[in-house]
Structure 1
Amino acid sequence: MAGKDNLKPVRTKGEARSKGRKGGIASGQARREKATLRAALEVLLERKGEDGKTGREALAVALYDQALKGDVRAFAELRDTVGEKPTNKLEMGGDLSIAAVIEEGRKRVARLR
């Protein structure tokens, strides 16, 4: 079978444990870095600028300006942020009885014979 020589052998329990531990440590580090970035962004968003607006307010105004210029993605982001995001609704109706569907199929097959 082609490609069998590319397969790596099954790892021992010790190897698997070691790799799992390293992955867990890396995952924790990534989580901590993400939390640090999130905290830094929160500080920036709450800080007031020279015009007296918070970072959040300045971003909202900038997004609004972009939407007014015709940026569809900016418009969609504004719409979603204010809670007007459209939802996809699917309404199903009719007879969903599986027995009726099977019986109808049998009748069609019988007519074809």
Structure 2
Amino acid sequence: MVTRDGVPVATSGSGFRNRGVRNGRAHEYVVRAVYRGDGGEVTTPGLRRTVTPVARPEPPPDFTLGTCPGERDRFLVRCAEPPSGDLESVLLSDPAALAVRRVPAGGGGPRGGPSADAGQGRVVA
């Protein structure tokens, strides 16, 4: 059982997709387990978290990738500073790793945790 700000949220399988949320507004989610027993249903107190969805970041402006002069085993990334957020470059040794979503310690924000797609009004958790 999942609620957002006290209102039930539809679940599917092992997760939920919550539409109709606004970026920058905090929401309180409670996730509870419901067990059926001989005496009826038992509901756990659940896990309570407050999250604030954010818009997907814009790609960095003026992005270029080239070789470092005189250093054939190194590359140089150049771009203008993004209007908001932190820019992060990750060198992957295995192309298959591109399918893995990196979640920073503490979660949240565009790289992990609940987020809302700009203009779509939905949280993915």
Normalised by the size of structure 2, how large is the TM-score?
0.16
Higher normalized contact order (CA 8 Å, seq sep 6+, divided by chain length): 2
Normalised by the size of structure 1, how large is the TM-score?
0.17
